[in-house]
Structure 1
Amino acid sequence: MSRLRLDPFVLAILATVGVATLLPASGAVAGGFGVATTVAVGVLFFLYGARLSTQEALDGLRHWRLHALVMAATFVLFPLLGLAAMLLPSSVLPPDLAAGVLFLAVLPSTVQSSIAFTSIARGNVAAAICSASLSNLAGIVLTPLLVALLLAGDGAGVDGSAVLGIVLQLLAPFVAGQLARRWIGSWIARHSAPLKLVDRGSILLVVYTAFSAGMTEGIWHRIDLGHLLVLVVVCGVLLAVVLGATGQGARLLGFARADRITIVFCGSKKSLASGLPMATVLFGHAQVGLIVLPLMLFHQIQLIVCATLARRYAASETRELVPV
């Protein structure tokens, strides 16, 4: 990050998109990948459940004002900005990309990068761990509900009556992981490297399946370079507004500097790791490719911007700093 390099995982995702573009799965092969993707999503959320320390999240509830502000930024401010993006004319931002921006806006925060940037900036790391974990836990339920509420009837392919089934597809393996944590939690902690390959491999499988379906359905004829540039600008503006709002809001509410840093980094992130499998469950295969494109762009932008911001915080520990 110190050299603003592209995230290797994002590069792997882009390479997978390239493979899906040149060699898309179709017919029976696509059906097999669809089954594998369903299993992969279940495994992914099982691992999320097994990794998340419920006790750690409960212990951190004493910082309720901090967590409330992060949750408000994640599940209130972001969705409002996503709705604003939906107001752009379709000639500027096509409906599928606009729906993708709104989907991005209702996702939970990241865990790993939120904590990493908070640590670099010398913020409240313990609060970041708790806040990011709570955001992901809430997102298991809130994201599908917000998608059904905000995107129903807008061509996003989500039926509000199916919300319960969608939540169960994500929640059931997560709860199973939580229940199994007492037996496998220590094993997972000792084998984090291979398990990291498992969850990232699962996400790459989701990406390949989604973009293969996009190729076979011909959805890529609906986007051009101009719309892609507009999407980059929209993602950049979205991040800038949230960074400014969380920084200024935390200052006005009287939070200490370390807590303000935590609020800025936890409240401005969106999780690629959670978003890709969720999109596969929530949307039809033919739609997922364009739906997740805003998330992929936003993810890389947030890494670059927040890496720079974290270094600025660390270098200015003796003076106040609010993102602009």
Structure 2
Amino acid sequence: MMARLSLFADPMIAVLVLATALAFIVPAIGEVRGEAQAISNAAIFVLFLVNGMRIARGEIARGLANWRFFLPLFLWVFGAMPLIGLAMSYVAGTILPPMVALGFLYFGTLPSTVQSATSYTSLAGGNIALSVVGAALINIAGVFVTAPLFAVLASSEVAEIGSQTIFRIGAILILPFVIGQAVQGWTIEWLKQRKSDVAWLDRMVIGIAVYVAFSGAVEQGLATMFGAAQWVGLIGLVAAFLAIGTSGAWIASGLLKVARADRIAFLFAGSQKSVAIGAPMAAILFPAEVAGFVIAPLLLYHLLQLLVAAPVANRLARDQSLG
């Protein structure tokens, strides 16, 4: 199990590395950028349509009924983590370009990642059903909450959500999700039979969004903007954010006085951040020349959370077997 959940066994990592490398080698710039952005927007629409189809309405109802777990998780993910991100962005602003520093706040406002949070909850001996429902609800909330929350906390022109941005969010994220929910009675079983295909759809859409975002950043000089010291600082700050988020989620779940299995579900749903939401949403919220800078901390966080989660999950499983 450890090998299967390791960093290098995750196909998403290969997709992110490939998309980033392509952006540096063959960036979508000039007239091609508009076409690449249109393809990315269409792919994001399809992704959120499928997300609406595959998240069962019954799961949503069960999660909302368990408000003693879901409400604190919601407050941690969209309250505590964004505030940590805000503080980290101020620190990052002293050593990193402003848009990269803003990325700490951006990924702090993102929802949990469903797949890996659930996998590591299972590995650690946690409440799998609660993890699935909790992470799914947090992802749904993120579609509606992340953008306005980020704009309020950022208080900058780049984060201002005007009428055009609101329309794009509604047309590319919310509308397809609502359509998916409406038709899922006819589609959910069909999608369950094609889980592997749907997983690759996720990866392809994220890869396209990352490629387009980093192409814009490359055109703005990303490759020459960072020195060795800044790379060290960026990695160190992302690692610090992960350490604070993980330990904080464990402490917060302990204050709830819930069963250990529920506490484990809270830990992974509360500390993991979703590149599946983050990369596509950044492509909608930010201009192409900005998005690549903003998602740089998110991509590093995603890599580090996979590195850290496996040993943490194994330690929790071992402690539980000894107890």
Give the corresponding residue for 2:112: 109
Give the corresponding residue for 1:239: 242
Identify which of 149, 164, 167 aligns with 2:166.
164
Deviation per CA, 1:230-261: give whole Å up to 9, x if none: 12111111121122222122223311111111
**Worse-matched range after superposition: 266-275 or 196-205:** 196-205
Identify which of 70, 84, 87 aligns with 1:84.
87
- CA–CA distance in 2 between the matches of 1:87 and 1:126? 37
**Worse-matched range after superposition: 90-99 or 175-184:** 90-99
Percent identity, aligned pairs only, is 34
Give the drift of 1:26: 2.5
- Give the letter aligned to residue 67 of structure 1: F
Q: Compared with structure 1, are the counterparts of its residues 182 and 88 closer, same or farther at alpha carbon in structure 2 (3 Å cutoff)?
A: same
Give the alignment of 1:1-324 within 5 angstroms: 2-3=2-3, 4-6=6-8, 7-88=10-91, 90-153=93-156, 155-162=157-164, 164-169=166-171, 170-318=173-321
Q: Do 1:118 and 1:124's aligned partners in 2 also have CA atoms closer than 8 Å? A: yes
Q: Do 1:206 and 1:280's aligned partners in 2 also have CA atoms closer than 8 Å? A: yes
Work out the number of aligned pairs and report it: 319
Q: Do 1:219 and 1:286's aligned partners in 2 also have CA atoms closer than 8 Å? A: no
Q: Do 2:126 and 2:260's aligned partners in 1 also have CA atoms closer than 8 Å? A: yes
Deviation per CA, 1:144-196: give whole Å up to 9, x if none: 1112212232x535335555324313101111111121111111111222222
* SS of residue paired to 1:92: coil
Give the drift of 1:60: 2.8
Structure 1 portions without partners, runs of 5+: none
- Give the letter aligned to residue 36 of structure 2: F
Q: Do 2:7 and 2:13's aligned partners in 1 also have CA atoms closer than 8 Å? A: no
- CA–CA distance in 2 between the matches of 1:61 and 1:8? 32
- CA–CA distance in 2 between the matches of 1:238 and 1:319? 30
Q: Compared with structure 1, are the counterparts of its residues 166 and 25 closer, same or farther at alpha carbon in structure 2 (3 Å cutoff)?
A: closer
Give the drift of 1:33: 0.9
**Worse-matched range after superposition: 157-166 or 49-58:** 157-166
Deviation per CA, 1:261-286: give whole Å up to 9, x if none: 11111111100111100000011100
* SS of residue paired to 2:91: coil
- CA–CA distance in 1 between the matches of 2:220 and 2:90? 26
- Give the letter aligned to residue 31 of structure 2: A
- Give the letter aligned to residue 282 of structure 1: L
Q: Compared with structure 1, are the counterparts of its residues 244 and 91 closer, same or farther at alpha carbon in structure 2 (3 Å cutoff)?
A: closer
State the TM-score, normalizing by the size of structure 2. 0.93
Q: Do 1:124 and 1:261's aligned partners in 2 also have CA atoms closer than 8 Å? A: yes
C-alpha RMSD over aligned residues = 1.8
- CA–CA distance in 1 between the matches of 2:255 and 2:22? 49
Deviation per CA, 1:23-46: give whole Å up to 9, x if none: 112233222111101101111111
Give the drift of 1:319: 5.9
- CA–CA distance in 1 between the matches of 2:59 and 2:164? 32
- Give the letter aligned to residue 156 of structure 1: V
Give the drift of 1:84: 0.5
* SS of residue paired to 1:25: coil
**Worse-matched range after superposition: 207-216 or 46-55:** 207-216
- Give the letter aligned to residue 77 of structure 1: A
**Worse-matched range after superposition: 207-216 or 108-117:** 207-216
Deviation per CA, 1:201-249: give whole Å up to 9, x if none: 1111111111122222324333222222212111111121122222122
Q: Do 2:96 and 2:234's aligned partners in 1 also have CA atoms closer than 8 Å? A: yes
Q: Compared with structure 1, are the counterparts of its residues 20 and 31 closer, same or farther at alpha carbon in structure 2 (3 Å cutoff)?
A: same
Structure 2 portions without partners, runs of 5+: none
